[in-house]
Structures are given as structure tokens and as C-alpha cells.
Amino acid sequence: MAVRTFRWAAAGMVVGLALGACQTQEGAGDGGAQPRQPAPPGSGSSSGSSPPLISFRSSGDAQFDAWRNSFVNKADASGRKRVAIVSVLSGLEPIDPEVQIASFDNQAEFVKPIWDYAKSAVSPTRITNGQAKLAANADVFSRIEQSYATPREIVAAIWGMESGYGAILGDIDGPRTLASQAAMGRRKDFNEGELLAIMQLIENGSATRDQFRTASWAGAVGQTQFMPSTFLAHGRDFDQDGRKDLWANTGDALASAANYLTASGWRQNEPWAIEASLPANFDYLAGDGRKLTVAAWKAMGITPATAPQFGNSDALEAELFLPAGSHGPAFLLFDNFSVIKRYNNADSYALAVGLLADRLAGRPDLLRPWPTDIVMLTQQQAKDLQTALNKLGYNAGAVDGVIGRGTRGALQGFQKDKGLVADGFPTTEMLDMVLAAAA
Ligand code: CA
């Protein structure tokens, strides 16, 4: 999903596919666009701006028509060719807003605990399939590693996460979903920018309009799920046939992903993370986002969980990541973790990619299991926790039901004062203790 800068725009591929069956197919040749004719009277151009340069057959939705009339002028002013504008925008009908919004609200990264996401993302089937794909494409991966900084297992893991190694590309019309979001005012500038990028890709011959008919709900395309603007900036024609075919050409898709990760700052020969074992009575307050050298972490008693040593990483800086508090595996995260997040800005996604990559490379599974018996707080329970912590004088910040750094820090303060393991992890047991103290 290359390069969604917003968390919710990532990946609900399974959800998207399920809902995609509801989408009606649009005829390619009946767009009804008539360039250079003024909008008919009462056609819904309520923006008050100048008449549209191109008149489209009404979508049947006045708000959508008004947005499109306005956007056509914007696209023209930004230098897009009219043939590309017509190609992308003709024949579009808005997706039902409730269906569209539901496709984002069900994003897998946010409805599951991080370990459920990681466990399903790093399934035995995905590991087996990935190792087979690495073997089958060994020559392509070798050539990509010669040109880009990112190792093959990371590129392969992203390939597996994004499309099941090229098996599932999505069946949503990219321009339709982007236009629908823009018309309803959802991240309008972003979605309009993606539509302009599609027009540019068509203009410069990188791709065709029809290729964008197999996209995700976010508008991402191809085997490595690139947003159009990322495609435009970082897409690669690996086999040099004149096209950047991220859909059918595995080399083009994988080289584009490797190129994007390299451009995002991938540090060659550095890990993304190492599972860490913490000493007894470890001060969990150190897991507050601070970055220290590996040598400094070692001095605090941290040891590698599965590797025999930390390698030559003493001078590298890392952040201690405790996704399950004191109840599950701990990680030292290196800068490459942030690079994965440039692809999809969710910790759960980057963790899953890294863990899958480790397995694809033949590295061992996690030493410490995930605490799958723990029940996560509901949003209302999280709000109750925040309210109670604030009442007790621990600054949990805004009562928004989101367990972020502020809430965890406040909970750590409470735990420390009570003589508990101060990991800041909000179990239901911890919620009960905080509520009792605040009552
Ligand atoms: Ca190509």
C-alpha cells in the first residue's frame, strides 16, 4: 500500500475484496464526456466558480457532479491534458458513502490487538508461499539487491502483505474510490492529488486507465499496492519494456518497492528490529520512546532473545518497543522500522512485515509468545481509564479512547506509585485497579 501517509488508508484488503463485490462495473466507452462544452443549466455546479471546461454526463449525484466540475478546472490548471482528464473522470458514479467509510473503519490494523494482526500476517502459509516465491524469483531478487539497499526478505514480505505475493490485486476502480472520497470532502486535497497522479501516469505512458480498475479501497494498485503519487515518484520499469507494470510484471513491482524503501532511507545491512530479553526488575519507563545505542541498552541488562549476539550493532541507536507491555515480546527497533512505516504508517504493519521477513530469511520465530489470552480494552474502557488517571493526577491527556504514549506514561506513574510492574500496559485488571483508586 505503498505509501499511505495516513494510518486508516492502509490495507483492508480482505474487507475491500468482500465489499468490492457490490461495486457495479462501469462501461469503458460510455463516459459521455463532451470536452469544451459548458455545463448545462442546473447541472449541479454549485461551487460558484467558472463553468467546467469539460461537461460530463451526470452521475446522478449532485454533490459528486459539482465536485467533478470544479476539479476538472483544477486539473486543467495544473497542466493535465484533457484526454487524460476525460479518461480518468468520465463515467464515474460515487460509491455509497456508508459503504466507503465502512471499508476504512474496518481496517485490520485497528480492530485487532497487535499480536492478532502479527500472528495472522505471519501465518505458516504466508511463510511457506514466500519462501517458494523467493526461490522462484531468485534472479530478480538478486538483481534488485544489486541496485537497491533493501534486502530481498523485506521486499518479499511487503509483497506478501500487500497482495499475497501478487495473487490479490483488489477489484475497486481507483479513480472511482478516490473521486468518491474527494467529493464527500474526505481528505480532499490528498485524493485529488492521487487523481492528478493517475492522469500523469496515463499521459506519460507508464500505465493505462484500465489498469487502475483493479485497485484497493484506498486507491492503491499493483502487486506492491502503490498509491498513484508514489507510483509516479518511485515506480520502476525493471525489465525496460517501456511500461511500469506494477500489476502483471513482478520485477517492475518489486523493484518499485525496493526503490521506494531505498529512497525512504533504508539503511543497508542494518536490522529492522531485534527481539530483546529484559532483565528481572527492568525499569519499563525506559520504553518511553527514547533512543539509545545498543551498547547503552546492553548496559541496562538487555540481551538478544534469539540471536547469539547483537552483531556489530553496538553503535546503532534503537528504541525499546513493548507492544504487549511486560506480557509479551520486547523489541529494539532500529531506523529501518520507521522506513517500513513510510510504506504504511502503522506499528502493527511494520512489525508484521519485519517478523515475516525474518521468517522468510530463515531466522527463528519469537522466543517470547504473544499474550493471546489478554483481552484488549474497548474504546469506552480506554476512556474510563484516561478519565480516572486524570482524576488521580496522572496526566493521561485528552480522553479520546486511544491508548497512546500519554496514557501509557500516566499508567506507568500509577503503577510505580503502587509498587506494581510499571509497564504502562492497560489490561482489564489494571483498569479495575485504577477505577477503584479513583472511586
Ligand atoms: Ca516494465
The yes-or-no verdict on residue 40 having pLDDT over 60 is no
CA of 245 to the centre of ligand 1 (A): 5
pLDDT of residue 350: 95
Instruction: Tell me which of 395 and 1 has the higher pLDDT.
Output: 395
- Averaged confidence pLDDT in the chain: 87
CA of 235 to the centre of ligand 1 (A): 10
Residues with C-beta atoms within 5 A of ion ligand 1: 237, 239, 241, 243, 252
CA of 248 to the centre of ligand 1 (A): 9
CA–CA distance, 22 with 34 (Å, rounded to integer)? 29
Band of the pLDDT at 45, cuts 50, 70, 90? very low
332 bridge partner residues: 274, 320
pLDDT of residue 10: 31
Q: Which of 46-60, 191-205, 254-268 has the lowest mean pLDDT?
A: 46-60
Instruction: Check if the beta carbon of residue 426 is closer than 8 Å to that of residue 412.
Output: no
CA of 252 to the centre of ligand 1 (A): 5
The yes-or-no verdict on residue 315 having pLDDT over 50 is yes
The answer to whether the Cα torsion of 84, 87, 88, 93 is positive or negative is positive
pLDDT of residue 328: 94
CA of 162 to the centre of ligand 1 (A): 20
The yes-or-no verdict on residue 18 having pLDDT over 60 is no
178-195 pLDDT, tens digit per residue, is 999 999 998 999 999 999
Exposure of 371 in the CB half-sphere (CA atoms within 13 A): 15
Instruction: Tell me which of 412 and 49 has the higher pLDDT.
Output: 412
Domain boundaries, given as residue ranges, for the chain: 24-94+177-209, 379-438
pLDDT of residue 403: 86
CA of 241 to the centre of ligand 1 (A): 5
Band of the pLDDT at 346, cuts 50, 70, 90? confident
pLDDT of residue 42: 41
CA–CA distance, 430 with 411 (Å, rounded to integer)? 9
Residue with cell 484533457: 82
pTM score above 0.95:
no
CA of 116 to the centre of ligand 1 (A): 37
The answer to whether the Cα torsion of 180, 229, 357, 290 is positive or negative is negative
133-149 pLDDT, tens digit per residue, is 999 999 999 999 999 99
Q: Kindly state the average pLDDT of the residues 33-39.
A: 42
CA of 238 to the centre of ligand 1 (A): 5
- C-alpha to C-alpha distances, 365 to 122, 123, 271, 312, 356, nearest whole angstrom: 10, 11, 15, 21, 9
